[in-house]
Amino acid sequence: MKFMKLGSKPDAFQADGGGDSRSYSRRYVLSDLPSDIVVHVDDARFYLHKFPLLSKSSLLQRLIVEASQGGADEVRVDGLPGGARAFEICAKFCYGMVVTLNPYNVVAARCAAEHLGMTEDVDKSNLVFKIEVFLNSGVFRSWKDSIIALQSTIALLPWSEDLRLVARCVDSIAAKATASPGSVVWSYTYNRKAASSDEIVEARRCSSSSPAVPRDWWVEDLCELDVELYKRVMVAIKSRGDRLPSDVVGEALRAYAARWLPESCRRGDTPADDDDACAMEVLETIVWLMPSDGDGSSPCGCSCQFLLNLLKLAVLVGAGELLREELMDRIVLQLPEASVSDLLIPAKPPAQTTYDVELVEALVGRYIRRAGLDDIDGDDVFETNGEADDPSLLALCKLVDGYLAEVAADPNLPVSSFVGLATSMPESARPSHDALYTAIDVFLKVHITSHLMHACLPRIVPYFVMILTRKLLSDAPKSVQGGEEEDLEPDGREEAVQGGEHPRGAERPAPAARGRAGALLRADARGGGEREHVAPAGRRRRRQRAPGTGRRRRRLLEEPRAGAGAAGAPDPVGGPEEADREHEPEAGRRGPPPRRGRRQ
């Protein structure tokens, strides 16, 4: 830290109680001469002498002359920037006492000296001149001193702005932040990768043992600035050419958000009311400062996780629609890079769901429209015969299925939201339905006893049946999945088809899926028409055949079944025997059918 000492006489200022008391109720100078003027500054009274003040300050000259003409020995200085502490610095300079200027008090002293009129017109080498020398030769040449001085300008507005102290501090900081890392020879703070949070890194030029200066070495030091000053500094940094990459600007914004946004918001909790205003201002500033372009991995210089966290905060604090739209437009550019936890954005009342599913639907929909896939058919989402050409689309589909598995446990989740998000992805993006099947399983377990299920069951069943069908089909062996279907007899022999049987040695179609999976698949292949009956477990569905055909039919005609003499005895297999009886005489139905010889 730079400092400058002015004056040579010892400090003779005392306060009530003596010593180094910081009370400004009464301040006086130890001297053989009694004080002849009392100066009121705010709530403090300074018992001083007229001559030292008249020789340095044009304002005090006028006030003292006016008071003397009225027979008074007291004057009041109103609106002095910096208050009593700044006036004490100016008064000590008038007496020639030792006063120390540093980055913390130099701005206040400069504003107070300007207000008191301590310029070259009154006396040569006056306080204004001395302070300007210190600012130009010390403060503005130091990285950290410029930041400290800039912070002190907030309490001194509009004086610090009118004297261009704010602008000069900003220019000094921006010039150093955009300097080449190889030319950095000043101290800076870099705690993100340091073992100790108090470590100060000193980069030395032409030193082979020193580590390389990172491009974002200046990020942490600027995090202590007020949001308005931070905005001005970042604008100045971005306007100084293209030497600063967009990812460095994005890292600076991320560090500032971590410093100033409420911790409750960063955890995803609802912030307190007193945090809303601060969070809103910081959020708007960060979004406004985001680069408009960047490289392919980070189009706006910020990661997708960081952008989703900002969107989560925007929802919690009730940010405006324009701010949310801006964030959503930036998120869509890198949505496949997000994680499921990033998408779990809490819903704000009066929403009944735990998470804001509609917001995620909007993000996915924007990505699909941007990719030119918004004209897909909703039913095509369950087809598995396509190949995913775009890895990002495949990653997004995996993200959506994982998100559905998380939100499916919410009992207030509408069926329409679940189905709408599940059917938003094209067929080429979902080569496997395992993750979606898991989400459906969770959804049904939670909603099967809910009153919502009774009202929405007709709408949701077709989608779930198609997904279940594809799941069962994908679990079956590949040899079973292809070719024309063919039912097998329980004993392993082929069943004859309509109108005859396959000749021996003829080429037979490959076996297909059987049982419940085959029935569901055949019903789905017919385009949603009437579904085939699925026999209970352990029994096989039989096709309708013409009377007198089939091996089993001939066996039944040649050899009567045991116990079949009773009229109306049920057939354990069902179907073929009852069909024959329609072609027999009425009398033949009272007893067992006559024996017939084997066909030669």
The pLDDT tens digits for 84-112 are 999 999 999 999 999 999 999 999 999 99
**CB-based contact 233:174 (threshold 8 Å):** yes
CA distances from 469 to 419, 442, 457, 476, 519 (A): 16, 17, 18, 11, 9
Look at 453 and 168; give whichever has higher pLDDT. Answer: 168
Categorize the per-residue pLDDT at 128 as very low, low, confident or very high, splitting at 50, 70 and 90.
Answer: very high
Q: Closest Cα to residue 469, out of 400, 511, 522, 415? A: 522
Q: Residue 517: which pLDDT band, with cuts at 50, 70 and 90?
A: very low
Q: What is the pLDDT of residue 46?
A: 93
Q: How big is the chain, counted in residues?
A: 600
Rounded to two decimals, what is the model's pTM? 0.69
Q: What count of other Cβ atoms lies within 10 Å of the Cβ of residue 237?
A: 24
* 13: β partners: 29
- Range from 90-99, 253-262, 309-318, 582-591 carrying the lowest mean pLDDT: 582-591
Instruction: Provide mean pLDDT across the span 164-181.
Output: 93
Identity at 555, one-letter amino acid code: R
Residue type, 304: C
- Tokens, residue 52: 């030292």
Q: In this predicted model, what pLDDT tens digit does every residue of 49-76 receive, in sequence order?
A: 999 999 999 999 999 999 988 888 899 9
| CB contact set of 157 (below 8 Å; sequence gap of 6+) | none
Q: What is the pLDDT, as a whole number, of residue 167?
A: 96
- More confident: 223 or 22: 223
Partners of 100 in the β-ladder: 5
Residue type, 244: L
Per-residue pLDDT, averaged over 317-340, amounts to 89
pLDDT tens figures, 432-469 = 778 888 888 888 888 766 545 555 555 555 656 665 55
pLDDT interval class at 482 (50, 70, 90): very low
- The 10s digit of each residue's pLDDT in 341-396 is 999 988 887 778 889 999 999 999 998 888 776 655 444 444 433 344 678 888 88
Per-residue burial over 176-191, b = 16 or more CB atoms within 10 Å of its CB, e = otherwise: bbbbeeeebeeebbbe
DSSP string, 59-123: HHHHHHHHHHHTT--EEEE-S-TTHHHHHHHHHHHHHTB-EEE-TTTHHHHHHHHHHHT-STTTS
Query: By percentage, how much of the chain surpasses pLDDT 70?
Result: 63
Quick check: helix, strand or coil at residue 228? helix
Beta-carbon count within 10 A of 91 CB: 26
Q: Is the pLDDT assigned to residue 492 strictly greater than 80?
A: no
Is pLDDT larger for residue 133 or for residue 32?
133
In which band, very low, low, confident or very high, does the pLDDT at 593 lie, cut at 50, 70 and 90?
low
Predicted local distance difference test score (pLDDT) of residue 135: 96
pLDDT grade for 427, boundaries at 50, 70 and 90: confident
Residue 161 has pLDDT above 60, yes or no: yes
Give the pLDDT confidence score for residue 25 in this predicted structure: 77
332, 366 Cβ separation under 8 angstroms:
yes
Tell the CATH topology of 1-139: Potassium Channel Kv1.1; Chain A (3.30.710)
Q: In what order do the strands lie in the sheet with 44-48?
A: 13-15, 26-29, 44-48, 37-41, 74-77
Measured from the Cβ of residue 550, the count of other Cβ atoms closer than 10 Å reads: 19
Tokens of residue 334, six digits: 């890198």
Taking residues 406-427, what's their average pLDDT?
85
> Facing residues of 40 across strands?
45, 76
* pLDDT at position 583: 46
Dihedral sign, Cα of residue 241, residue 244, residue 247, residue 253: negative
Tokens 């699909």 belong to 368
Average pLDDT over residues 476-487: 45
Mean pLDDT taken over the chain:
74
DSSP E strands in 380-451: the ranges are none
Helices and strands, counts by H and E, the chain: 25, 9
pLDDT in tens, 190-209: 876 543 333 344 433 334 44
pLDDT of 464: 62
Task: Note the helical H segments in 199-303.
Answer: 219-222, 227-238, 246-260, 263-266, 273-289
Residue 38 belongs to what H/E stretch?
A: strand 37-41
Stretch(es) of the chain classified as CATH 3.30.710.10:
1-139
CB count, 10 Å around CB of 249?
A: 22
Task: Taking residues 299-317, report their average pLDDT.
Answer: 85
Given this model, what pLDDT does residue 173 score? Answer: 95
- The H-or-E segment that residue 14 falls in is strand 13-15
